[in-house]
Chains A and B, each alone.
Chain A
């Protein structure tokens, strides 16, 4: 059975300016031991998608349609108490901002054991400490036993992100959602953190949803990729296939905007225009106004995500390109 599958999820924000569907009919799936990359520009709804899965949306965000199936069980049907038992225990999450995602007034040891205590109240203080030190050690925090009593401000950004990972792994979750886990870090630290995630995944076979705007990170980490644009998935395939033979003009544009060492260029290529804000999404294909391939029909109705090659889907009338 698929570890997590999200089916036709719609997340809406009712604001005074009207209803905004930040996630508009998204379906994704992750298998055990696999990494699903979700890529897109800021504002495409990828973070809202992850918060919708965890049901951590801030007011006035609300999932209004669809299913979130964790091993076949629809999380949207769970009570608040049941959902709390899923968070941290079955699905863990790490966030983009290691500087602010840890609480500055509690020691890191406390923050790690807190998650374990919430899910396994029978553990003694000594057991909690031992386990926390072990998991800190596992994410390669040097002299973990001593660090246990330190506070977030005493650690570097990379170390804090390791602590976040340790915290997420404390209860051995089946699925880890990593929302831009390396964006705020130095490039060298970034590589170490990704390497660590890969190792941990190989070790305990957890599924990972990796949310990023960085195609380099996707290339390095993801088995499969879903490309999001303006609240929708516009392309879905294996990672290798996506880089090899992109089938959506938006993906093509994204790939084109990565600077390459082997080409000499005076200017970086960029996709013309900007992502439209959610309340101004065009009625047809949302990429149409910026798309070099767009035809009259593109502006009429939104194109469905359809198979254009084996195991490769794109939401484009012109595909295969």
Chain B
């Protein structure tokens, strides 16, 4: 188990390096000159040159990359071109709300998706199955921003039930909880459909497996048969899917945070890109990618917990 975990961790390192490389060159291919942005529209050519010198932009590309990596290694992501605040500080302030939003979204959407999928699988072909699958197809097909705007319009604006702008405070306060409900519903909503569909497929598969017949032959009740012998085994493919969907979750977080003015990394990323704040944009890309890598690592470790064949080999 420890060996397996170390192996997974080691595999994450080249992926991380790749992300840093892409993050760096992505900013190089953007047809905007950061020095001009920094200098402002009225600056003279001399000023721009000076800034270019200061930012190291006139050095060869490989030297720039080396410098970038060296600073990164020391935990220095540079300062914002726009407001001169350290990128690490901005990221530190926004990462908490983003994590909060993701946890709150997954907290309700994954259990609900698994429950819906299991019910649909058990009563496959029935009206329950068709109803649940219709809902999940709708969930898969509707884009995040549409769900978000619909919720704002109905629950926030028309009925005035819930706040829809910004974070209300820490989650242990009433305001904090009220404020996170709509963003969490929006972001989680993207997840329910795919999880429900995948769970249904996997549970249907398992229900016809030989070991389920054995469980029934032992005289177990249907609840135990489904829970311990169908769903428990089906979780392995479902977890795989959740791992693959994490990319959508991060993308969804960017959109959701923007719609709900949620002070997270996603909104920071959008702002930085729109204002051509290169160091900030790079920083947010690194953090979001790191998040993706970490969640996938967690998924890999979950495999080992769920499947003794992985744990013990």
Residues on A lying within 8 angstroms of B by beta carbon are 54, 56, 58, 84-89, 92-93, 95, 97, 100-107, 114-115, 118-119, 151, 153-154, 164, 167
Other A-B contacts than A114-B215, A114-B220, 15 sampled, CB-CB below 8 A, are A56-B217, A58-B208, A84-B219, A84-B221, A103-B211, A103-B215, A104-B307, A104-B309, A105-B236, A105-B307, A106-B228, A106-B232, A115-B220, A118-B220, A153-B309
B306 on interface, CB distance cutoff 8 Å: yes
B201 on interface, CB distance cutoff 8 Å: no
B312 on interface, CB distance cutoff 8 Å: yes
Q: Indicate if the CB atoms of A101 and B211 lie closer than 8 Å.
A: yes
Q: How far is the CA of A84 from the CA of B236 in the complex (A)?
A: 29
Interchain residue pairs with CB less than 8 A apart (22): A85-B219, A87-B218, A87-B219, A92-B217, A95-B210, A100-B211, A101-B210, A101-B211, A101-B214, A103-B211, A103-B214, A103-B215, A104-B308, A105-B236, A106-B232, A114-B215, A118-B220, A151-B308, A151-B312, A153-B308, A153-B312, A167-B218
**Are A105 and B216 also in contact (CB < 8 A) when A97-B210, A100-B210, A100-B211 are?**
no
Chain A nearest CB from B213 CB (Å) reads 6
Q: Indicate if the CB atoms of A56 and B221 lie closer than 8 Å.
A: no
Tell me the nearest residue of chain A to B207, going by C-beta.
A58
Chain A nearest CB from B205 CB (Å) reads 13
The count of residues in chain B whose C-beta lies closer than 8 Å to any C-beta of chain A is: 24
A102 contacts which chain B residues (CB < 8 A)? 211, 214
B233 on interface, CB distance cutoff 8 Å: yes
Q: Indicate if the CB atoms of A105 and B218 lie closer than 8 Å.
A: no
B308 contacts which chain A residues (CB < 8 A)? 104-105, 107, 151, 153
B167 contacts which chain A residues (CB < 8 A)? none
**Are A115 and B218 also in contact (CB < 8 A) when A58-B208, A103-B233, A154-B312 are?**
yes
Chain B nearest CB from A245 CB (Å) reads 36
* Among A95, A104, A115, A154, contact of B213 (Cβ-Cβ < 8 Å): A95
Chain B CB within 10 Å, residue with most, of A58, A103, A115, A151: A103
Q: How far is the CA of A200 from the CA of B282 in the complex (A)?
A: 71
Q: Indicate if the CB atoms of B218 and A118 lie closer than 8 Å.
A: yes
B306 contacts which chain A residues (CB < 8 A)? 105
What number of A-B contacts does a CB cutoff of 8 Å give? 81
Residues on B lying within 8 angstroms of A by beta carbon are 208-211, 213-221, 224, 228-229, 232-233, 236, 306-309, 312
Q: Indicate if the CB atoms of A54 and B211 lie closer than 8 Å.
A: no
Q: Indicate if the CB atoms of B220 and A54 lie closer than 8 Å.
A: no
5 closest residue pairs by CB, A with B: A88-B219, A87-B219, A115-B218, A88-B218, A100-B210
Q: Indicate if the CB atoms of B218 and A103 lie closer than 8 Å.
A: no
Chain B nearest CB from A14 CB (Å) reads 14
* Among A92, A105, A107, A119, contact of B233 (Cβ-Cβ < 8 Å): A105
Q: How far is the CA of A105 from the CA of B208 in the complex (A)?
A: 16
Q: How far is the CA of A97 from the CA of B217 in the complex (A)?
A: 14
Tell me the nearest residue of chain B to A167, going by C-beta.
B218
Tell me the nearest residue of chain A to B230, going by C-beta.
A103
A167 contacts which chain B residues (CB < 8 A)? 214, 218
Tell me the nearest residue of chain A to B309, going by C-beta.
A153
Q: Indicate if the CB atoms of B218 and A114 lie closer than 8 Å.
A: yes
Q: How far is the CA of A130 from the CA of B215 in the complex (A)?
A: 21
B220 contacts which chain A residues (CB < 8 A)? 84, 88, 114-115, 118
Q: Indicate if the CB atoms of A118 and B224 lie closer than 8 Å.
A: yes
Q: How far is the CA of A36 from the CA of B228 in the complex (A)?
A: 34
Q: How far is the CA of A85 from the CA of B309 in the complex (A)?
A: 32
* Among A87, A105, A119, A153, contact of B217 (Cβ-Cβ < 8 Å): A87
Tell me the nearest residue of chain A to B216, going by C-beta.
A56
Q: Indicate if the CB atoms of A115 and B219 lie closer than 8 Å.
A: yes
Q: How far is the CA of A44 from the CA of B215 in the complex (A)?
A: 25
A104 contacts which chain B residues (CB < 8 A)? 211, 233, 307-309
Q: Indicate if the CB atoms of B219 and A89 lie closer than 8 Å.
A: yes
Q: How far is the CA of A264 from the CA of B163 in the complex (A)?
A: 91
Chain A nearest CB from B133 CB (Å) reads 19
Tell me the nearest residue of chain B to A86, going by C-beta.
B219
Q: Indicate if the CB atoms of B209 and A100 lie closer than 8 Å.
A: yes
Chain B nearest CB from A190 CB (Å) reads 19
Q: How far is the CA of A95 from the CA of B213 in the complex (A)?
A: 9
A107 contacts which chain B residues (CB < 8 A)? 308
Q: Indicate if the CB atoms of A56 and B219 lie closer than 8 Å.
A: no
B217 contacts which chain A residues (CB < 8 A)? 54, 56, 87-88, 92-93, 95
